[in-house]
Chain A
Amino acid sequence: MSEGRIRVLIAKPGLDGHDRGAKVLARAMRDAGFEVIYTGLRQTPDQIVSAAVQEDVDVIGLSILSGAHNHLFPRIMQLLEEAGAEHILVIAGGVIPEEDIPALEKLGVSRVFTPGTPTSEAIGFIRERVGA
């Protein structure tokens, strides 16, 4: 009998300090029964990937509002691959223009949630993709 619980790493890459969305989502996920590891601000791609590996998470949620996603996300995806952790589902949220999304998805980001998305939608998406 496995008691596996969905584990999620919520990370804020880059220098952006706006963490309202990240924290609200973290709480909503906890209330949905997930184990949420929050990394805090100013995380480098290396820190995020190492933390995700050590914590053996099922999902990484990246929150960014500064516009640096096109620079930071490819690096994160590359490091995940190097660490043999491509199985981790990566989702993102924040101020990310619609036209950037296809390229991010091509990199392996499973879903980009734009402002106004209910937390229940992100949670539902994770449940559907990770199970449990």
Chain B
Amino acid sequence: MERCEIDAMISGIRDNRPGTLARAISMIEDEEPDSAHLLEGLHPFTGGSHVVGITGPPGSGKSTLTDRITKHLRKRSKSVGVVAVDPTSPFSGGALLGDRTRMGDLATDPEVFIRSMGTRGSLGGLSRAVYGAIKVLEAAAKDVILVETVGVGQSEVDIARVADTVVVVFVPGLGDDVQAIKAGITEIGDLLVVNKADLPGASRVESVLESTLNLAPPREEPAPKIASASAERDEGVEELLDLIEEHRNLARESGLLELRRRMRARAEITAILARRVSRHTEGYLSDGDNGWYRRLTRGEVSPGELAEELWSKLLGQESEG
């Protein structure tokens, strides 16, 4: 791609042209060589959006909540970008991405851009793609960017935790509320939402959350707030949105926002590096014919030495390239 084509793409993104946004995200996701230049070019136009992570276990109603939050944001005349991440099948590498089913009527709103993503599974690849998609949406001047990810606790899929505001969704009846709390999930959230609050058991989840927070060691950041909602019935969403906005304002004043942005930048750099390293090494290690495994089994090298060898090779290549 010529430099001018990338420039044209950047200006298309800044003009909020859906086709261009979509194409740019694909380039990043597919790790096309030009995507690095694109991201460089986009960087000056980023940082203006409020990035909200929404995470929680499967079945917690995250997509419905995302849909409702988006609608309320639209009522407040905010433009919205959504990145919805679903797991890729480890067997086929394919994915069934169904988050849009909850957001069908948002598809035609020009101020809403929704993108589904599979986790795909390469080390650092997903994080790189999601950070990239956020950049594209920021450059398109979306007021709010919602990043919805499945699963809790796994750093690879847990990009939500480095958002400006992190919403963790709980739900009664899945039996994993206590599990999640044990796993320290309360610590990553700024807002803990009990969704499906109309179901029996909701108040129990809330009280378990409260007592967990009371027992938690003090932290620098303000303690998470607990909210309840029923996304399906559109109850409590307006209030949740108020809390989200309030968090962002407080975070800006207290310097927390700066801290989060730094964490995100650090995570992004780490992801880029990790991806770069793994792309070099994966190729070598997946090739059964170059004899590394034979050398290992014969006791000629240890895994540590082999890693060292690959590292030097990598540095050599990098300095040549």
Contact = CB atoms under 8 A, between A and B. Distances in A.
Do the two shown chains form a genuine complex with each other? Answer: yes
A3 B128 CA distance: 13
A27 B96 CA distance: 7
Contacts of B279: 1
B98 interface: yes
Interface in A26-45: 26-27, 29-40, 42-44
A38 B104 CA distance: 10
A56 interface: yes
Interface stretch (A46-54, A65-73, A89-97): A46-54
Closest 7 CB pairs of A and B: A40-B101, A56-B22, A30-B94, A4-B30, A50-B107, A47-B107, A56-B26
By DSSP majority rule, is chain B's interface helix, strand, loop, or mixed?
mixed
Contacts, number: 104
28 contacts: A1-B279, A4-B30, A5-B30, A5-B94, A5-B118, A27-B96, A30-B96, A31-B89, A31-B91, A31-B92, A31-B94, A33-B93, A35-B88, A35-B94, A35-B95, A36-B94, A36-B96, A38-B98, A39-B100, A39-B101, A39-B104, A42-B104, A47-B105, A54-B114, A56-B19, A56-B26, A84-B19, A85-B19
Identify the interface centre among A4, A5, A50, A54: most chain B CB within 10 Å of its CB.
Answer: A54
B32 A32 contact: no
A105 to B, nearest CB: 25
Interface of B: 18-19, 21-23, 25-26, 30-33, 88-89, 91-98, 100-101, 104-105, 107-108, 113-116, 118, 120, 122, 125, 279
Given A2-B30, A5-B120, A50-B108, A36 B95 contact: yes
Contacts of A42: 104
A30 B21 contact: no
B96 A51 contact: no
B116 A55 contact: yes
Contacts of B108: 44, 46-47, 50
Nearest to B279: A1
Contacts of A103: none
A130 interface: no
A35 B118 contact: yes
